[in-house]
Amino acid sequence: MNTVASNSPGITLTAEGAVSVSYNTLRDAPHSLTPSIEKAFGSNPDSLGIIVVRDLPATYAPARERLLKLAYKFATLPESEREKYADASSRYSFGWSHGKEIMNGKPDILKGSYYANPVLDEPAVSDALRKAYPEYYGKNIWPSQTPEVSDFEQVFKDLGGFVFGVGCQLATACQPFTSAYFSDSSLSLADLIKDSQTSKARLLHYFPPSPDNPVPAEDEAIDSWCGFHLDHSLLTGLCSAMYLHREPTGEPTAVTAPSPASGLYIRTRGGALTKVSIPADCLAFQTGEALELATAGRLRATPHCVRVGAVPGTGAGNVSRETFALFMQPNVDQRLSATEDFGQFSKRIFDEHYSEGGAATM
């Protein structure tokens, strides 16, 4: 991964300007990274709100590849098979979800998602809490009876568990920025995540362009594949996307992105639009709105979107995008500000961005 030194001593940037830290430093000396955290997640005009973690264990890259190829396998099953694993009772926040989420004012058919908590299959909460917050306190649904993806659960948990562990280490590095709003000053961000029963991973398949979803025009909107939004987690772990080309046999082949314009876009604190690439052997973490509240604005949430960037006539119509995100957040009763706990906050966000019965982005 190409990195450059920033003007601040001890801070390393990627070629695109994202802060980059070593996994070894994050694991062994997280509090030494305070300047990097402030540069990445703070209010400087050029802050991107994302950190790239490099030097990961060698087991990470193959785990990522296994799960992202399973995302393709599941998403290309017959619709009747996929819908067996949809769960309306959780507002489609567990299991399979396609066309339920509202994005840019209309049902989102451009991507399908598989939601699960990778560290806990069934939360130990009261029936009342489960009923009040089905988006968080539902039970995992696994496609174990579908032969094509029989190892889905284990592969999902392997990758999700690893990302969760790195995210907890990053939360420790963010601790110096927390505010006085926490109800118990002895709590740490890492403990809020470790002890939480609300963590949620989202395995994403962005469908190739089709007659119902055509290849975009040259003046395509920046947020054509996924509209601009803020996550409402504390931290969101992100794997590098994988692009897969569907061969005539139906089997996928890994390819480069449909165009150099394809991928993740972020608005800096100063408003500049920046495309950010995550190397395949690295993880990235973004800030969510809950962290902005928990730090009284010292660390800010990250506006981001995904662009197709396809070029007509290049075969982009057969290319899908697979990726994985882990939303790390506290339990619903954790107070984040003077007026709201996480449950109240997240309900407000759901109501603002999703229609009744629609899916909820964690």
pLDDT in tens, 37-59: 999 999 999 999 999 999 999 99
Q: Tell me the residue range of the domain where 197 lies.
A: 3-353
Assess if residue 362 is contained within a domain.
no
For residue 75, what are its two tokens? 């998403």
Q: The domain that contains 40 carries what CATH number?
A: 2.60.120.330
- Res 35: pLDDT: 95
Which pLDDT score is estimated for 361? 46
Spatial contact of 243 and 293, defined as CB atoms under 8 Å apart: no
Domain contains 358: no
Predicted confidence at residue 231, as pLDDT, reads: 87
Q: Residue 299's closest CA among 211, 233, 347, 343?
A: 233
Residue 104 inside a domain? The answer is: yes
Confidence (pTM) = 0.88
Residue 119's pLDDT is 97
Q: What is the number of domains present in the chain?
A: 1
How many whole angstroms separate alpha carbon 97 and alpha carbon 109? 10
Is residue 54 in a domain? Answer: yes
What is the C-alpha to C-alpha distance for residues 174 and 234, in angstroms, rounded to an integer? Answer: 10
On whether residue 227 sits in a domain, the answer given is yes
Residue 359 lies in a domain: no
Q: What are the mean pLDDT values of the chain's consecutive 10-residue runs (362 residues total)?
A: 60 93 97 95 93 97 97 96 95 91 68 96 94 94 95 98 98 86 69 94 88 55 59 93 87 85 85 90 94 88 75 62 94 85 83 51 46
CB 277 within 8 A of CB 16: yes
HEC assignment per residue over the chain: CCEEECCCCCCEEECCCCEEEEHHHHHHCHHHHHHHHHHHHCCCCCCCCEEEEECCCCCHHHHHHHHHHHHHHHHCCCHHHHHHHECHHHCCCCEEEECCCEECCEECCCEEEEEECCCCCCCCCCHHHHHHCHHHHCCCCCCCCCHHHCCHHHHHHHHHHHHHHHHHHHHHHHHHHCCCCCCCCCCCHHHHHHCCCCCEEEEEEECCCECCECCCCCCCCCCCCEEEECCCCCEEEEECCEEEEECCCCCEEEECCCCCCCEEEEECCCCCEEEECCCCCCEEEEECHHHHHHCCCCCCCCCEEEECCCCCCCCHHHEEEEEEEEEECCCCCCECCCCCEHHHHHHHHHHHHCCCCCCCCC
| Predicted pLDDT at 215 | 52
Whether 287 and 49 have beta carbons less than 8 Å apart is answered as yes
Q: What is the pLDDT of residue 55?
A: 97
Assess if residue 330 is contained within a domain: yes
Residue 360 lies in a domain: no
Q: How is residue 238 written in tokens?
A: 């992100």
